[in-house]
Chain A
Amino acid sequence: NAGVTQTPKFQVLKTGQSMTLQCAQDMNHNSMYWYRQDPGMGLRLIYYSASEGTTDKGEVPNGYNVSRLNKREFSLRLESAAPSQTSVYFCASTHGTGYEQYFGPGTRLTVT
Chain B
Amino acid sequence: AQKITQTQPGMFVQEKEAVTLDCTYDTSDPSYGLFWYKQPSSGEMIFLIYQGSYDQQNATEGRYSLNFQKARKSANLVISASQLGDSAMYFCAMRKRADKLIFGTGTRLQVFP
Which residues of chain A are within 8 angstroms of B25 by Cβ–Cβ distance? none
Which chain A residue has the least Cβ–Cβ distance from B45? Answer: A103
Number of B interface residues in the complex (CB < 8 A): 22
From B67-75, B77-85, B97-105, give the one contacting chain A: B97-105
B-contacting residues, A22-68, CB 8 Å = 31, 33, 35, 40-45, 48, 50, 56, 58-59
Chain B nearest Cβ from A19, distance in angstroms: 20
Which residues of chain B are within 8 angstroms of A31 by Cβ–Cβ distance? 98-99
Q: Chain B 44-56, CB within 8 Å of chain A: the 1/0 string?
A: 1101001010000
Complex Cα spacing A100 to B104, Å: 16
Q: Which one of A43, A58, A59 lies within 8 Å of B91 (CB-CB)?
A: A43
Chain A nearest Cβ from B48, distance in angstroms: 9
Which chain B residue has the least Cβ–Cβ distance from A41? Answer: B105
Answer whether A96 and B103 are a contact pair too, CB < 8 Å, given A90-B45, A103-B45, A105-B43: no
A7 on the B face (CB < 8 A)? no
Q: Which one of B4, B44, B98, B105 lies within 8 Å of A56 (CB-CB)?
A: B98
Answer whether A45 and B99 are a contact pair too, CB < 8 Å, given A90-B45, A100-B35, A101-B47: no
Chain B nearest Cβ from A3, distance in angstroms: 10
A13 on the B face (CB < 8 A)? no
Chain A nearest Cβ from B97, distance in angstroms: 9
Complex Cα spacing A107 to B99, Å: 22
Complex Cα spacing A45 to B2, Å: 14
A-contacting residues, B17-51, CB 8 Å = 33, 35, 37, 43-45, 47, 50
Offer 15 A-B interface pairs, CB within 8 angstroms, sorted by A.
A33-B101, A41-B105, A42-B4, A42-B105, A42-B106, A43-B91, A45-B102, A56-B98, A88-B43, A90-B45, A96-B99, A97-B33, A101-B99, A105-B44, A106-B44
Binding site for A on B (CB under 8 A): 4, 33, 35, 37, 43-45, 47, 50, 52, 91, 93, 95, 98-106
